[in-house]
Chain A
Amino acid sequence: MSVEQLQRIAERFPDAVVEGYTLHGDETLVIKRENLVEVAQFCKNEPGLEFKLPLSVTCVDYIDEKPRFELVYTLYSITTGHHLRLKVRVPEEDPVAPSTIGVWRGMDWWERYCWDMYGIRFSGRGPMRRLWMYEEFEGFPLRKDYPLRGRQPLIPEADVRDIYRGPGPGPGSPPASRSNPPRPSQLPIVK
């Protein structure tokens, strides 16, 4: 990615591009949320850019800033051999971004990943499904305000004294009893 290519996108979408910069040799464009899909289409199909290989989408939780979330799209162009990073800011109150799976099908699971881990919804595709966690899971584990040792077992876990070595309810819970933990067959199954 050369600076000329960044300028070309910025000239084509003067209203959509918030800023563009190069850091450690990586070219980055910050764009507005509502223009994401058209910029993505342009980057993919315009001769001379041709960012046809979708590498990943991820999200960063800047918990003290507003808007809170930042989606990071990493693209690659096999013909020109350049990488491009698109960034979109998403506020906490309205964590929705337009889906880009109409542009690159490979973004599908990464968007599910962003929903699963950060709770970012993508509009313009079917209902969001989690990628790694189970559907009963509540909350979004990679948000900075999700506790590191937050556990949500589907069946109650046996109480273990050393919470750093094994499963257990975590700090702040009543001290573990010395009696034997109930066998799995005795545990009530909660849904």
Chain B
Amino acid sequence: MPEKHDSTESRVTENALEARLPTKTMSINMGPSHPASHGTVRFNIELDGETIVKLDPEIGFLHRGFEKSCENVTWQQCLPYTDRLNYVSALCNNFGFLTAIEKLAGIEIPERAKYIRTIGAEMHRLCDHLTCTAAMGMELGGFAPFLYGMEARELLWDRIAELTGARVTTSYGRIGGVEKDLPEGWVQKVKDTLVKVEEFRQEIDQLLTLNRLFIDRTRDTGVISAEDAVDFGFTGPMLRASGVPYDVRKAHPYWVYDRVEFKVPIGTRGDNFDRYYIRMQEMVESISIINQCFEQMEPGPHIIEDWRYVMPPKPQVYSTIEGVIGHFKLVMEGVKIPKGEVYSYTESPNGELGWYLVSDGSGRPYKVHCRAPGIQLVSGLEHMVKGSMLPDLIPTFDAINMIGGEVEQ
């Protein structure tokens, strides 16, 4: 790199001690596996002293060919792949993908399934926000909030495991509804768990929100204006922290979000503290949404009874020829989704999770495009940290909450 000689400036300065020294920029390499960043991403950073001049994130360490894999299996078999996109909130991906298929096929799911989907997605939104805020606290030096966050997340994952059979990779939804109804006694267990989660959330809140060290690291760092955030394609808490009130759940309500009451927290400064605090507030809203869903839910079918899309019940498979044929065709040929294309979108914890699907009428998708919210967030990282100190990169990267599974697909 050429040396920067500010000779005129140093001559003009009266006090020689305050003269600007000629400096070189230094390029350093951070990652792919760095203790202060969760997620495998490599930053090529160019530093002037301790100021970031240029930052080039290099992603792709977790790339595993999500789209290619989906194009070569049947529609139902894509579902386990979607678990692994955002592995902290798998249900949001499952249900978002299924909502896109249902929009393409014109399927209306039963009321109870809509409630179950809302509950599942909000529980996993809690998990995701707990992970983000707790890990943010840990990487800024406070280990206790991380432990509280993991404890609360583990409680929620226990409930998810009772519902779906798996803690993380759920694969719970089905085209036309959900796999099975809520287990016996589960509702009360979740209500008790949510009380505990709220206690843990308050612990984290008390440890971080008014903590001087935490505020110093996050307040006015990684700032992005509302116009720039929109221009970079930010969605979710990152966009709302900049003061743009766009939440898919409010703007285009899906499932039962038009029947429950919740607020959308909006930030004012667009800095890391706002992003953190919005997530803390969204957790309160999520808990309230889940409780409202439990109040409003009524018994009923949890999946449609259309054997073109849904597996017939096992007794009918074993005893009737229609059941056998329906089962055979669904397994061997896959669900026949009508020819066409669709863009469907839901609010995942990090932003708008969009699906652009193309079907050629066979049992396999012709194209599955996942508009993962994280990609554009990471692409805007350089804009947010350019000109600030190297330590500001850590809270900014934490607030993005980059999940390698969805950003690198």
Residues of A within 8 A of B (CB): 23-26, 52-56, 58, 60-61, 72, 74, 76, 78, 81, 83, 85, 104-110, 113, 117, 130-134, 141-142, 146, 148
**Cβ-neighbour of B68 out of A81, A113, A142 (below 8 A):** A142
Over the window 243-256 of chain B, the binary record of Cβ atoms lying under 8 Å from chain A Cβ atoms (1 yes, 0 no) is: 01010000110000
Chain A contact residues, majority secondary structure: mixed
CB pair A56–B60 under 8 Å, yes or no, is no
> Is B67 within 8 A of A23, CB to CB?
no
Interface status of B343 (Cβ within 8 A of chain A)? yes
For B342, what are the chain A residues with a Cβ–Cβ distance below 8 Å?
Answer: 23-24, 26
Contacting residue for B63 out of A24, A54, A133, A148, CB 8 A: A133
* Contact mask for chain B residues 299-325; partner A; CB cutoff 8 A; 1 contact, 0 none: 000000000000000000000000000
CA of A130 to CA of B341, assembled, Å: 27
Question: Contacts A26-B342, A78-B244, A117-B67 known; A133 to B233 CB distance under 8 Å?
Answer: no
Identify which of B72, B251, B343, B408 contacts A74 (C-beta below 8 A).
B343
**Chain B residues whose C-beta falls within 8 Å of the C-beta of A26 in the assembled complex:** 341-343
A106-B231, A133-B60 known; A56-B341 Cβ under 8 A: no
Chain B nearest CB: distance from A76 CB in Å?
8
Whose C-beta in chain B lies nearest to the C-beta of A52? Answer: B230
CB-contacts of B89-106 with A (<8 A) = 103-104, 106
* Contact flag A106-B356 (CB < 8 Å), given A52-B231, A132-B63: no
Q: Enumerate 27 A-B pairs (CB-CB under 8 Å) in ascending A order.
A: A23-B340, A23-B342, A24-B103, A24-B342, A52-B231, A54-B231, A55-B233, A55-B354, A55-B371, A56-B354, A56-B356, A56-B369, A74-B354, A74-B356, A74-B371, A78-B246, A81-B251, A81-B252, A105-B232, A106-B380, A130-B60, A131-B60, A132-B63, A132-B408, A134-B60, A142-B67, A148-B68
Give residues 349-380 of B contacting A (CB, 8 Å). Answer: 352, 354, 356, 358, 366-367, 369, 371, 375-376, 378-380
Measured CA separation A106–B375 after assembly (Å): 9
A138 to B383, CA, bound (A): 31
Give the contacting residue for A60; candidates B63, B354, B367, B378; CB below 8 A. B367
Task: Give B247 Cβ to nearest chain A Cβ, in Å.
Answer: 11
A100 to B375, CA, bound (A): 17
CA distance A26 to B341 in the complex (A): 9
Query: Is B22 an interface residue when CB atoms closer than 8 A count as contact?
Result: no
B183 at the interface (CB under 8 A from A): no
* A110–B103 alpha-carbon span in the complex (Å): 24
> Which residues between 393 and 409 of chain B lie within 8 Å of chain A, taking CB atoms?
408-409
Which listed residue, B233, B340, B367, touches A106 by the CB 8 Å rule?
A: B233
**What are the interface flags for B65-98 relative to A under an 8 Å C-beta threshold, 1 for contact and 0 otherwise?**
1011000100000000000000000000000000
Residue picked from A54, A85, A109, most chain B C-beta under 10 Å: A109
CB contacts (< 8 Å) of B352 on chain A: these are 55, 76
Report B283 CB to chain A, min CB distance, Å. 24
| Residues in chain B near residue A55, CB distance under 8 A | 233, 235, 345, 352, 354, 371
Across the two chains, which residue of chain A brings its CB closest to B67?
A142
Residues in chain B near residue A146, CB distance under 8 A = 68
For B356, the chain A residues whose CB sits under 8 A away are 56, 58, 72, 74
Q: Are A132 and B60 in contact (CB under 8 A)?
A: yes
Contacts A106-B376, A109-B376 known; A24 to B232 CB distance under 8 Å?
A: no
